[in-house]
Amino acid sequence: MSNSNYDASVLIEALPHIQKYYGKTVVVKYGGNAMINEELKDAVIHDIVLLSLVGVRVVIVHGGGPEINAMLKKIGKKSEFVKGLRYTDRETMDIVQMVLCGKVNKDLVTLINHAGGNGVGLCGIDGGLFQAVRKTDEDGTDYGYVGEIRKVNPEPVMDMLESGYIPVISTVAQGMDEDTGYNINADLAASKLAVALQAEKLILLTDVRGLLLDRNDESTLLPEIKVSGVPKLIKDGVIAGGMIPKVDCCVEAVREGVRQANIQDGRVAHSILIELFSDNGVGTMFF
């Protein structure tokens, strides 16, 4: 990590930015390439540890699709999707829970600890953090053990933050209607947790640049947009497809009291630091 050209005096540039986030809560939904590419992963982890050190109350929420797929494949089970969501039968649910809470989560905590942070990994079951019921659609679509969050109890996360830990949260919820864990959407979980913590910022790390006015031209990136302007963009087709649920998470968070929500490019190294601690935003900010 040493760099012969590094000049500590550059830290002064960060001063006003650090002051802005001091003591504030930032929830990072961690996923996509930033979670697969080792170098990007290392950058995210160090960003998180630095944030924690300079007084930001940072929380990581993670999913783990690729690792779940790999494990399912290993036991010879095909991943099935219904309306874009993983169909989660009993056996799949067990694998989801094992991979997320047992593998991805603890590996992230290990990395944080090795970087000098003090990580603790929880899932939505611990302390009743996320409580959910089975997801039901009006058309009767069955998703298996996919849950809809009905209650967020942020106490366990706040207790960890107070004790100085960096909480790392797996997106498995505790069943309210059945004696089971539920597979829940990580973007939604991050959004709802940000609301429950009344966070300053929600960051969704994705594999896109942000909202582009012209999908084929990255120079048309929309750096920021008021949530009131979103419906028009959907109508105009600027926000479409897989972006819609992500944008919804941002809009919902801001409407419920989170000051800013970002959809940003996790493929850029240290994009979290760049977004928070410089004038150069990364991706699109909803406010």
Instruction: List binders of a copy of itself among 169-208 (CB under 8 A).
Output: 172, 174-175, 179-181
Sequence-distant (6+) residues with CB within 8 A of 234 are 240, 244, 247
- State in angstroms the smallest separation of the CB of 21 from a copy of itself: 10
How many residues of this chain interact with a copy of itself, rule: CB under 8 A?
74
- State in angstroms the smallest separation of the CB of 34 from a copy of itself: 14
Q: Which of residues 41-100 bind a copy of itself (CB under 8 A)?
A: 43, 46-47, 49-50, 53-55, 71, 74-75, 94, 97-100
Instruction: Compare residues 26 and 251 and give the one whose CB is closer to a copy of itself.
Output: 26
Instruction: Compare residues 1 and 217 and give the one whose CB is closer to a copy of itself.
Output: 1
Query: Which of 118, 227, 281, 287 is close enough to bind a copy of itself by CB under 8 A?
Result: 118
> What is d(CA 43, CA 149) in angstroms, rounded to the nearest whole number?
31
Instruction: Compare residues 71 and 227 and give the one whose CB is closer to a copy of itself.
Output: 71
3-state secondary structure of 138: coil
3-state secondary structure of 120: strand
Question: Which residues in 65-87 are b (16+ Cβ under 10 Å) and which e?
Answer: bebbbebbeeeeeeeeeeeeebb
Query: Which of 163, 198, 220, 228 is close enough to bind a copy of itself by CB under 8 A?
Result: 163
Neighbours of 241 (CB within 10 A): 9
> What is d(CA 81, CA 71) in angstroms, rounded to the nearest whole number?
16
Query: Which of 24, 66, 106, 287 is close enough to bind a copy of itself by CB under 8 A?
Result: 106
Q: Which stretch binds a copy of itself (CB under 8 A): 32-40, 155-163, 199-207, 225-233?
A: 155-163
Beta strand 201-206 pairing with 85-86: unpaired
Q: What are the φ and ψ backbone dihedral angles of 216, each rounded to 5 degrees?
A: -95, 0
Element at 240 (helix H, strand E): none
**229 belongs to the binding site for a copy of itself (CB under 8 A):** no
Instruction: Compare residues 115 and 234 and give the one whose CB is closer to a copy of itself.
Output: 115
Query: Which of 80, 159, 207, 218 is close enough to bind a copy of itself by CB under 8 A?
Result: 159
- State in angstroms the smallest separation of the CB of 120 from a copy of itself: 4
Instruction: Lay out the sheet containing 130-134: strands in order across.
Output: 147-152, 130-134, 172-175, 181-183
Instruction: Compare residues 49 and 249 and give the one whose CB is closer to a copy of itself.
Output: 49
Neighbours of 260 (CB within 10 A): 18
**225 belongs to the binding site for a copy of itself (CB under 8 A):** no
